[in-house]
Chain A
């Protein structure tokens, strides 16, 4: 049974990976694979939309951190739309809310559809 659903789309000039459901060790491999797939095209901006998550523990946190490191090394941007409080507090407790690139919505990225070739 999948506890986590993914949807990837091009929106406002960014690649957006939406997560819905619960993220724990049972979905770690699938999340990793979805990230690798989204990164394969080397999008300048990859957005993780966590608003549909109902749970996230350190397995998910670790994968977000690793994706952030890959993006920085490749000079790409990884932006994150925060999840509900029960999810976002994991980043706050880990004191990563300033280290990671959290955004309110896509409009703050300053991109538009015209950028999307």
Chain B
């Protein structure tokens, strides 16, 4: 039976750190490598909401985690203006665009959904993230 956890964070500059702090409670349930990846990606997506969604500080950003035996699904939602994800690979000459690049490289699947809220979701397969990984100078993912 999957476990679902959800938390809402005020849409201020402290939101990414607050979300990371909330995720620490998962250290009993998740491998440290999986948790490190999820912390980084949640920090990136919450930061994207703050930067691009034109939400106000009194608005909220909602983070939802669904853990099952083989994967962890994470969703970050805001009520902002939404955005179209660009499959752009950032370069050393473009200082922006790294957040979604990390989502693409570290997650096994990801996407965007829009309903009343804009949500970016990603999934991490536990098996591929549990082993200690070595990042290489290669455009392909090491799994």
State the A residues within 8 Å of B (CB). 3, 22, 24-26, 55, 57-59, 61-62, 65-66, 69, 86, 89-90, 92-99
Q: How far is the CB of A54 from chain B (nearest CB, A)?
A: 10
From A24, A26, A62, A98, B95 is in contact (CB under 8 Å) with A62
Q: What residues on B are CB-neighbors of A94 within 8 Å? A: 90, 98, 101-102
Residue of A nearest to B16 (CB): A24
Q: Do A59 and B47 touch (CB < 8 A)? A: yes
Bits for B39-74, please: 1 = Cβ < 8 Å to A, else 0. 110011001001100000000000000000000000
Q: Do A93 and B105 touch (CB < 8 A)? A: yes
Q: Does B17 contact A (CB under 8 A)?
A: yes
Q: What residues on B are CB-neighbors of A59 within 8 Å? A: 47
Q: Do A62 and B137 touch (CB < 8 A)? A: no
State the B residues within 8 Å of A (CB). 13-14, 16-17, 20, 36, 39-40, 43-44, 47, 50-51, 90, 92, 95-96, 98-99, 101-102, 105-106, 135, 137-139
Q: Give 20 pairs: A residue, B residue, CB < 8 Å, sorted on A.
A: A3-B17, A25-B50, A26-B16, A55-B43, A57-B16, A57-B99, A57-B102, A58-B47, A61-B98, A62-B98, A65-B95, A66-B95, A69-B95, A86-B36, A89-B135, A90-B40, A94-B90, A94-B98, A98-B137, A99-B92
Cβ-closest 3 pairs across A and B: A58-B98, A92-B135, A26-B13
Q: What residues on B are CB-neighbors of A69 within 8 Å? A: 95
Interface residues of A: mostly helix, strand, loop or mixed?
Answer: helix
Interface residues of B: mostly helix, strand, loop or mixed?
Answer: helix
In the bound complex, what is the Cα–Cα distance between A105 and B36 (angstroms)? 26
Q: How far is the CB of B84 from chain A (nearest CB, A)?
A: 19
In the bound complex, what is the Cα–Cα distance between A58 and B95 (angstroms)? 9
Residue of A nearest to B93 (CB): A69
Chain A CB count within 10 A is highest, among B16, B44, B101, B106, for: B16
Q: Do A93 and B36 touch (CB < 8 A)? A: no
Q: How far is the CB of A6 from chain B (nearest CB, A)?
A: 17
In the bound complex, what is the Cα–Cα distance between A57 and B50 (angstroms)? 14
Residue of A nearest to B98 (CB): A58
Q: What residues on A are CB-neighbors of B39 within 8 Å? A: 55
Q: Do A57 and B40 touch (CB < 8 A)? A: yes
Q: Do A62 and B135 touch (CB < 8 A)? A: no
Q: What residues on A are CB-neighbors of B40 within 8 Å? A: 57, 90
Q: Do B92 and A57 touch (CB < 8 A)? A: no
